[in-house]
Amino acid sequence: MFKKDPLQIIAFQTYGTSNHFYLRGRALEDETINLEQKGLFGLFINSWKRFESDEIKHTELKITLPNGMILKTVSDDHGYFKVDEHVDGLGALANDEGWLNFEIAYNDVNLKRSIQNSNRFSGELLIPSIQAQFGVISDIDDTIIHTGVVSTLKWKVLLNSIFKSAASRIPLEGAAAFYHKLHRGRSGKNANPIFYVSHSPWNLYRYLEFFLKQNAFPKGPILLRSFKDIFRKKSGDRPQKHIEIVNILKTYPKLKFILIGDSGEHDPDIYKEIVEAYPKRILAIYLHSVNHKKKMLRVSRLYKDFKSTPVLLVKNSVLATEHAKQDGFIN
């Protein structure tokens, strides 16, 4: 018999309010994926482990807040879990940057398995300060990391995801510094929240989390989508990214936002729809210009007579930084 891998819990970085606890994550076996792996064979095995994960379904989990309060949830058929509850006093539990730290553990006495970290896993939830000047909602693919989303048959996406480690991926030049300026805002002392939203599946969460941390991007919730949903999209359904952005806007009705994406895929269309639905909530749209003439022409036409919100097509972070300074978003 093969020895079973020990269990782990991944609590995805997410967001909430002073009275709204919202957590998503996954219970699964720990298959020891090395995010700094080198060598094609090792990288291929890592990718196989990400998508052929062994989930722990229908098991009870216990979340312990810093004040000792206990919340419980149960994982679904694919090991995913969600907590969406009204809880008063959460703001007082967060640190100066707005992060609330908690612990999560397996709570099933019948679970006779080895569990990593003595069954104590950490999680974080962002509660933006009421003093925040604005929020930032950013794409990841070809916005802060080159992925090749406009390549023929998306072969570059496949190549980069499978045969490049998170440690070897290179961010777009100047992006991290620009995001830190936005995070600190006009005063240089703000803690403006940054939300990272991508069409990538949750299987790549640790991969993207590692990339953001290693390349010194401001910490923020990472919002992805279920791998199974990629193949279940029906005609007329809103893209998951659109749904996530609307959820953020509804969660913080008094906060305005800057949207950052790329001109290669669906960001221009999604962001335009968001502005039209929430005309007074979006301060600016920054779109990274991709090397594709037809797509650039399409985006230019899409925003030709668009006047309600500043839209900037930029080749690099320098131009975006200059515009943000002119509009008083950063110092």
Q: Please give the pLDDT value at position 125.
A: 97
Check if the beta carbon of residue 55 is closer than 8 Å to that of residue 30.
no
Q: Please give the pLDDT value at position 32.
A: 62
Name the region of 117 (left: φ>0; alpha: ψ -120 to 50; beta: rest).
Answer: left
- Alpha helices, H only, 99-224: 155-163, 175-184, 205-214
Check if the beta carbon of residue 273 is closer than 8 Å to that of residue 243.
no
Burial string for 208-247 (b: 16+ CB within 10 Å, else e) reads bbbbbeebebbbbbbbbbebeeeeeeeeeeebbbbebbbe
Could you give the domains of the chain?
Answer: 7-126 (2.60.40.10), 135-326 (3.40.50.1000)
Name the region of 185 (left: φ>0; alpha: ψ -120 to 50; beta: rest).
Answer: left
Q: Please give the pLDDT value at position 302.
A: 81
Q: Please give the pLDDT value at position 199.
A: 83
Task: Give the whole-angstrom CA distance, residue 188 versus residue 230.
Answer: 39
Q: Is the dihedral angle over the CA atoms 260, 264, 270, 273 positive or is it negative?
A: positive
Q: In the sheet where 222-225 sits, what is the strand order?
A: 222-225, 194-201, 135-138, 257-262, 282-288, 311-314
The one-digit pLDDT tens for each residue of the chain (331 residues) are 456 788 999 999 999 999 999 999 999 988 665 555 455 445 444 554 545 567 899 999 999 999 999 999 999 999 999 999 999 999 999 999 999 999 999 999 888 889 999 999 999 999 999 889 999 999 998 888 876 554 444 445 555 555 455 555 677 889 999 999 999 999 999 999 999 998 888 888 888 898 899 999 999 999 998 655 544 555 557 888 999 999 999 999 999 999 999 887 789 999 999 999 998 999 999 998 876 677 778 887 888 888 889 998 888 899 999 999 999 999 9
Instruction: Tell me the pTM.
Output: 0.87
